Structure 1
Amino acid sequence: MRGPYGGPEFRAMRGTILLSHGSDASPDATKVSALAALAEARGWRAQRLDYREDDARGHAGSVAPRLARLNAAIAACDAPPVLVGSSMGAFVSALASLEHPVAGLFLMATPPAIPGVDDALGVRQDVPTLLVHGWRDEVCPIDGIVRFAGRHHLPLLALDDDHRLSRSLPAIERQFALFLDNLA
């Protein structure tokens, strides 16, 4: 039987995916919602975290409470989850992966650093990771993430888009489906 994304329909749960939205967004943001739906259609349990209360503290002030919220969600999982994040959600997902076992990282529009935050972006080499970024990202220029990807030998999908990556959603969905298939 074929699922809604052309692949086989999966009946058994494959694991948990924790999705983290960017600043000034919500759990109902376009990318997070689309990727959650795609994951669920492929047999994963998707949980979209809500950081809006944390984001009221500003960029630097939101990192610690976002990280605490994500760490609590990871601790509640019965197996290492896949972490998916956009912008600030990608930054805290990467930080959380340094503290907990995770099954994978799918990071979009990732800032390599947050002004006013001592923690720098990092990933463990044993965690399957894919970076997705826009060539025309006006918030997090691509040069920083290209250097990060090069230092850590990580795959980077660079798309002709801006920070929101809204014009590239179909390409992101295809890459996410492949990423999940490789984890399964």
Structure 2
Amino acid sequence: MRGQIILSHGSDSGPDATKVSALAAIAESLGWTTQRPDYREDDRLGYAGSVVPRVARLRAAIDALDAPPVLVGSSMGAFASGLASLERPVAGMFLLATPVAIPGYQAAFDLRQDVPSLLIHGWHDEMCPLDDLHDFARRRSLPLLVLDDVHRLSSSVETIGAQFRLFLDSMASGQ
């Protein structure tokens, strides 16, 4: 067993969403164990209202593990994963379509800086402007892969999967 991965879906989605399902399958094929919390009940509270319960649910999932997990998140799942990483130890971060702010929520996006991380975003993201995430990544010297896609990144699932495989291979080899 390589370790544990927690995959967090975005708003208006679920734990069986296309991207998190595809990434979970890749991770499991490489010997990792995965879990996908269901945030749909939290999401009924609206974007700003769902952040605190999502982060609490994610913290509880991390606390139940024997070792720090890799956090994978898409959109609101990426936002919550970043915030949870500030409060709990994590082994790595693989974040997609990350918003740097949630309207109505008091804190901006942030993440643990001492772990391997990769941000992936779409050039044409209509929900989370690329410029905002690019500025965040630049200030932190974080790797950012920008794809010819929109917020859902649905045209890039294969590319994201290939990047995820490389990311997990580097995590497993300790690079």
> 2:67 is matched with which residue: 68, 75, 79?
79
Q: What corresponds to 2:10 in structure 1?
A: 22
Is 1:174 aligned to 2:165, yes or no?
Answer: no
The one-letter amino acid of 2:133's match is I
Q: What corresponds to 2:101 in structure 1?
A: 113
Give the TM-score normalised by the residue count of structure 1: 0.93
- Secondary structure of the residue aligned to 1:143 is helix
Query: Where in structure 1 are there 5+ consecutive unaligned residues?
Result: 1-12
Q: What corresponds to 1:7 in structure 2?
A: none
Q: Deviations over 1:28-77 (max 9, x none)?
A: 10000000010000000010110000000000000000011000000001
The one-letter amino acid of 2:108's match is A
Q: Deviations over 1:11-36 (max 9, x none)?
A: xx111000000000000100000000
Percent identity of the aligned residues?
69
Q: What corresponds to 2:137 in structure 1?
A: 149
Q: Deviations over 1:132-164 (max 9, x none)?
A: 000000010111100000011000000000000
Q: What corresponds to 1:51 in structure 2?
A: 39
Q: What corresponds to 2:112 in structure 1?
A: 124
Name the CA distance, whole Å, in 2 between partners of 1:31 and 1:99. Answer: 26
- Secondary structure of the residue aligned to 1:17 is strand
Instruction: State the shift of 1:124 in Å.
Output: 2.2
- Secondary structure of the residue aligned to 1:99 is coil
Q: What corresponds to 1:92 in structure 2?
A: 80
Give the TM-score normalised by the residue count of structure 2: 0.97
Q: For this pair of structures, how many residues does the alignment match?
A: 172
The one-letter amino acid of 1:119's match is A
The one-letter amino acid of 1:145's match is L
Name the CA distance, whole Å, in 2 between partners of 1:16 and 1:44. Answer: 6
Is 1:60 aligned to 2:48, yes or no?
Answer: yes
> 2:127 is matched with which residue: 139, 163, 167?
139
Name the CA distance, whole Å, in 1 between partners of 2:112 and 2:43. Answer: 26
The one-letter amino acid of 1:30's match is T
